[in-house]
Amino acid sequence: MNGVFITGTDTGVGKTLCAAGILEAYRQQGFSTIAMKPVASGCEQTDEGLRNEDALLLMQHMSEQANYDEINPYAFLPPMAPHLAAARNDLVINSGALVEQAHALASRADRIVIEGAGGWLAPLNEQQTFADLAVQFKLPVVLVVGIRLGCLNHALLTVENIQHRGVNMAGWIANIGLENTSDCLDIGENIATLESRISAPLLGKIPYLNDQNILEIASILVI
């Protein structure tokens, strides 16, 4: 598979916006693209079935066509950790099935962009985490760091675990556009601290984007 797996320092740090930006960046480079949101909770009940806003946004920014269920095989209604939402439905998330589905999707485009849920070690089922899934995807990882108070620890812990697992990091993104980024008194020094401690490249700094301008994110990212 060619592409990237998107993780973040937490939920709500800009993974989906960055994943959409990367899809558009790849498209501008002339690649056909497809996306995957393997597991999503907090979905909405519609006439067509459960729908997740991350998966729907990613589908808007990929060049290839696919059915919703192919892009988001596990969709759950309650906004809770996926393995708990699955358990409520008497389901166990099957990582092997997700890896197979990722390969099927990836064979239909030049690049695949897969967005995890939550952070790197969010549980997938009783035994596994999203990190285990990412290892099986064998895709380079992009870490989205939501720049705010506490992000240095979250970012460095995540990078340490990614490296410990022998997973290649394509780079990291500094999202300085979160509501609570302003809790961080010196954004520049925080970013410099991370740059000096993370060997993978900084792919771009995303400012506050009023209108969720995905093409602007694509133009910022060097990927």
Ligand X SMILES: Nc1ncnc2c1ncn2[C@@H]1O[C@H](COP(=O)(O)OP(=O)(O)O)[C@@H](O)[C@H]1O
What are the residues binding ligand X (CB under 6 A)?
8, 11-17, 54, 175, 177-178, 206, 208-209, 212
Contact criterion met (CB below 8 Å) for 61 and 35: yes
DSSP state of 204: E
Closer Cβ to ligand X, 22 or 139, answer by number: 22
* Residue 31 contacts residue 47 (beta carbons within 8 Å): no
First to last CA, the chain: 16
For residue 39, the SS3 value is strand
Q: Choose the one of ligand X, Mg ion, none that binds residue 204, judging by a C-beta under 5 to 8 angstroms depending on kind.
A: none
Nearest distance from residue 9's CB to ligand X, in Å? Answer: 9
CB 144 within 8 A of CB 22: no
Q: Taking a C-beta distance cutoff of 8 angstroms, is the pair 41, 82 a contact?
A: yes
158 binds Mg ion (CB under 5 A): no
Q: Is 37 a catalytic residue?
A: yes
Pattern 109-148, Mg ion, x by CB under 5 A: ----------------------------------------
Query: Is 37 among the residues that bind Mg ion (CB under 5 A)?
Result: no
C-alpha angle with apex 188: 214 to 165, nearest 5 degrees?
70
The catalytically annotated residue of 15, 37, 138, 205 is: 37
Query: Residue 76 CB, nearest distance to Mg ion (Å)?
Result: 14
Give me Rg for the CA atoms of the chain: 16
Which residue in this structure is represented by tokens 């609570």? 180
Which listed residue (3, 5, 10, 15) binds Mg ion by CB under 5 A? 15
Q: Does 54 bind Mg ion (CB under 5 A)?
A: yes
DSSP-assigned letter for residue 90: T
Residue 78 interacting partner from Mg ion, ligand X, none (CB closer than 5 to 8 Å by kind): none
For Mg ion, the binding residues (CB under 5 A) are 15-16, 54
> Which sequence positions are flagged as catalytic?
37
